[in-house]
Structure 1
Amino acid sequence: NAAIIILLYVGAIKVDCGLLTQGNVVALYNYMSQILVELIKLANLIITVTKSFACAGRVNEILDMTTSLSHGEQVGTVAGTPFIAFENVCVNYGNADVDALSGISFTVEKGQTVGIIGGTGAGKTTLVNILPHFYDVSAGKVTIGGVNVNAVGDEKLRDMCGIVPQKAVLFKGSIRDNLKWGKNDATDEEIMDSLTCAQADDVIKSKEKGLDEQVEQGGKNFSGGQRQRLTIARALVKKPEILILDDSASALDYATDAKLRKSLKSLDYNPTVFIVSQRTSSIRHADKIIVLDGGKMVGCGTHEQLLSSCAIYEEIHYSQFQKEGA
């Protein structure tokens, strides 16, 4: 702006003196405007390139980063051992003062259903995330078939697991494409079987295009319960040996939740199921229920056993259901 003012001021003087015409001044003004626009573009380009180099450096740092997970030599399963065993397991995030999990020990046989319950921040999600080796334990060990999860191999281990996280996430594309994330070569029959088990077949029947119905990013065109059932179906397509449901039925009504649990029990490939829930109704029929409080296991047993032996479980249960005789 200052340059234009100077140009017009000097130009006016030159015109008054007869050294320039008014057309010459207008032409100079246009040339100056074009030059300034290009200089501004050049300055923005320099800033963009500088930012790009900085971003590229940060991306390279991430790509060059090595995993902190420990891995042992891969070995076969050991006969005569529990299918899954937690042995005095402790987990600590980033050298925190307090362990996220401390002294967790229990065993699970193949095909059993395990319920995990506790208050917010009790360590429920941390517990189930150790199984697919998302985190290393800071003490103790977790074994599958008698082999430490560190030595099973991450690819093999995660192929064994079907995981449904707390937040049900669907991706942009068709319903069929979303469900094939669990198994790329899944047939429509396998997909429909998993949808039926997850109580989501009615979702498909209600859509005009069926499995070809388009899903918006994040599944915004589906309700919370529909998203949860579709993500459960996605985990079931691959027929996992270990199925982890991390509070993934919270948006389902009690009747649908009960039908889902009954369907899981009747699966012919008999997966070992871990159900994380805030509702005792979702886990009361589990073979074993783990009660967590402050990262520690304060109870382990069946629903009836825990009602008589674990005050925390009893409190959670009767806060949701009226005590008989009350």
Structure 2
Amino acid sequence: MTLQPKNMLNRLLKSLLVSFVCIIVLSIIINLTAIKLPILTEASYERYLILFLYLIVMIFYVSLLFDQLYLSQKAKGISLFFYLFIMTGSLQLLESLVAQINVQPKAIVDVIVYTLVITSFTVLIFRYYGKGAESYTKRIKNYFSHQHISKWLLKCIYAIFLLFIAHYLINSMLTPFIEPYYNGRYTNILKMSHHAGDVKYVSMLTHALVMVVGFQPLFALWKGSKTSLLFWFGFPLFIILAFQPFIFNVHWPLGFRFPLFIEETLIMYIHAIILVHLFYVPDETHKEEELVKSKLSLSNW
């Protein structure tokens, strides 16, 4: 999908509007209820500005991603909610468990409210009027009809194994850089546990499972090339799961925050590469292109 300068400016202005409205609505909700967001624990202009700028970038790219899926407004709203919830409500919380970061029990409720607000205004303002919207279930069925269910299950198991191994290896390489912070001085940030190892590995495995299962609809609905899917799948992962915690949690020591940022960036992009490689199925338009690429790669060998 090529963005013309005029369309890009229009999308940017819409993203700015959605972000501004979301900030206002979230601040009202926070003031009137017990809902809390980590970035807005302190009602300072700096925190609101960080959230505002982050939302502009995130909404710009995520809205563009969903416009390329050619969904009806209803399907788009439901899909966007679950997409953002998987990112912020599942994967982020699981990453917090891996890093032994303190997470409040009611954090899931806060995330649901946050996701609902962003989804509602994004779908309301970014309305898709183009042609090409097909039946959601029809496209899902068509995607899974390419291979027998047993092959898909084996592929899922293989993917979960690869994601877990990648997560484990990257975490093992970067853990020595943040180990000094697990010395009791940062109990307000970190949650020390005698079962930290077990929790970490279970969280990694669950993270892999959520990645494989949760993003299957995205692969099923994608109509572009494999390269474009890698970008549109990987870049939002980076923004939401690596960049967001880095800029939001300014109260964390930089020596702890930066290695986590590097770790999350590596994990997200490697996971994206693995999943796109395993689960991308070209549509009729891109089948020939992928066939040519595979022949070229074989000839190079």
Give the TM-score normalised by structure 1.
Answer: 0.27
Which one has the bigger strand percentage? 1
Which one has the bigger helix percentage? 2
Higher relative contact order (CA 8 A, sep 6+): 2
